[in-house]
Structures are given as C-alpha cells and as structure tokens.
Copies of this chain bind each other. A is one copy, B any other.
C-alpha cells in the first residue's frame, strides 16, 4: 500500500462545484477536469473536490469545511441572476460580511445589455453585489464577475492561517478566461509553486498509445529515476505525452526527456502543450502562403469547422464544399457519374476526383477530400461502417489513403479529420 506522506509545505487547493443539476446527474462536471489539469500543470495540487446542490446548508457547510483545511478554495457556479444562484449571498452570510452594490460592476452589466440592444432585467442587478472586502474579477464574457476574498485571520482554521476563497461563474467560456487571466496571477502572487515545477506536453498523432509507450518508456527509465514524472493521455487520433519534474533539476530532466522523445517519435510529434493539429496546419500554410480547398462528404463540414476555428484561417482557406449527395458531388465538384456508378461514392477514385477538382475549382495550392461511411447505416461487407478515403491534391498530384474508423458519428469525424490534417501536415513537411 502506497500512502505518501502529506507535504505540509505545499499549497492545498480545494474545489467546490455547486449546482443541483450536477447532483441530479443532468450535466457532466467538466470544471473539475479543466481546473484540476490547469492547476496541476501550474505545479499546484487539488487535494479535494466537492459538489453540492445549490441550497444553503450544503454550500455553506462545504465552504466552511474547506476553509478549515485548504489554503485556496475555488467555487464554481451560482453567480447568475436566477433564484437558484445563491453562492454569493450564502458565502457573504457565512463570512459575516455585508453585501454592497458595486457601481462599476453595475455599469458593466448595463453596458453588456446595451451592447446587445436589450434592456437590463432587474434581476441581473443582484450580480453587482460584492461582499465587503472582496476583490472583483472583471468578467468580459458575461454579466457575473468573479470574486476573490482573502480570509485573514481564518476563523475556521486552527492557528487561524489565512485562506483565499475565489468564486467563479459557472459557464465554461466565462470561467476559463477568468481563471487564466486573474486567478493564475493571484496564485503566483499568494504562493509561488514550491521550487521549480516544469511540465512539458508533446502531442503525437498517427501512433497508438501502447506502441508509443513501448517506443519511449525504456529510454526514459534513468530519467524517471531522477524524478521525471511521465504521463500519457490518449485522445481521438492523438496521444499526449506529459513530461514533468519538480525541484532544482526539473528543467534539465524535462529538457533531456523531451530530446529523447522527439528523437524516438519524430515525425509523429506535431505540437506542444495545448496546440491543436489544425492550428499547426494553418500556421504551416500561412508560412508558405498556400491556399487550401476542402471537399468533404462524411465529415460533413467538421474539417472546415476545425480549420476555421483557428484565428487567421481566412488567409489560407478560401472555400470548401460539403457534398453529401451524389448529385452534389457531380454538380458542385464535377465528380464523374461513371466513377460514382463504377466505384461507388466511397472509393479511392471518388476521393481522388474530389480533391483534384476542388483544388482546380477553388484555384487553391492544395485540397483535401474525404469520403466514407460514418454510420450507423450504409455499410457493406467490402466497405463496412467506418471505411473512409482521404485524398490530398497538390502541385505534385493526388494521393489517397484508406482508413478504418468504426466509431460513433462524432468520434468518426474527429478521427477522420485528424487523419486528413495529418496527411496535409506530412506533405507540407516533406515538400518544405
């Protein structure tokens, strides 16, 4: 039984997620994973996560218990304008701090609504209330600001050691930038991570998790002995390798590990940290001043969607077509009726014509095409559900790959678009 001793010098962080929809199992708690991962990558550790319904007893009890244990407590949710948004009020009550209306927040909330040509509902006024002494974390993405409260002395903790309590709004697109832009600097100010913590994530594609692990782990053994923490995270069409270390030798250990992994896994490594394959591809196209056309069937626009998620994509992506029907493959892409009749829509020949013709019609430097069977229907013994052809047309001609992705529709799309982007990335590397 491995029970490591508690490290009393490290900052202890607890997370409290509020919301009856969590307790009723109506939504998935994605905040836990996101916040825990961000904190771990910054060198902090979450020692406990608690979810409670948005009712008085539970939120107050959970916050009181966490204040008795932790240096930093982050709550999520319950800052909205509706009647079940009670976190702000309950915490002010627990801490015995009066709520005061903050004129600057109120002005921001009014501004939020007037920018949308809508009157501010009276209910939203409650979001301008701030417990006395709390720091306001401005929220550019919504109406509920975050709040940061230093509890010093902390009446719930033995010896009265101070704690920080941070309240974040529930919607992920508000919570995430608030955490990155305001909570991270506050954390670094309050308690920098002990010693040095270095974490490097390398992202690989075109190689499975087991084979990747077999390839690298033997060569990293001695560094693991020197404190390297090696982790793997398998995603769809992608494996992330996490190299981390703590202490004075951390940077050297991680750097040596990275060199080894890159040597063993090149050309599979496409990026680092949170970099997406589509961002790498758009960057490479931009550097080469190349235009990309897309001709999608079974991926249904998700390849174009991924490319256009990257800011600046408009400079390299003039156009794509989504030709689901055979008629559209003919009229919009000029695929020949004979080819469709002879080989079927899901075939090497159709993928070839789609890529070739998309490149010509859009006057692009290169074009990707995808045709396959996403399922659940449409499979045959020769071409079962999951069969897909991915084509790439460039000045050098057309290449087509066949893949097999027998998954649900959304996973199929993710896996297939990953393969298409990787085909283009390899081509761009090879042609320089």
Contact = CB atoms under 8 A, between A and B. Distances in A.
A209 interface: yes
Given A25-B38, A32-B25, A52-B47, A3 B86 contact: yes
A352 interface: no
A24 to B, nearest CB: 4
B26 A231 contact: yes
Interface residue SS majority, chain A: mixed
A320 interface: yes
Given A24-B244, A55-B3, A234-B171, A213 B82 contact: yes
Contacts of A82: 209-210, 213, 232
A251 to B, nearest CB: 17
Interface in A220-235: 229-234
A1 interface: yes
Contact of A322 (B124, B301, B374): B301
A141 B209 CA distance: 15
A409 interface: yes
Nearest to A123: B210
A415 B244 CA distance: 38
Nearest to A201: B26
Contact of A332 (B307, B317, B321, B377): B321
A28 interface: yes
Nearest to A291: B325
A199 B24 CA distance: 9
A25 B21 contact: no
B23 A47 contact: yes
Contacts of A311: 375-377, 409
A152 interface: no
Given A28-B30, A52-B47, A319 B323 contact: yes
A392 to B, nearest CB: 18
A100 B294 CA distance: 50
A233 B172 CA distance: 12
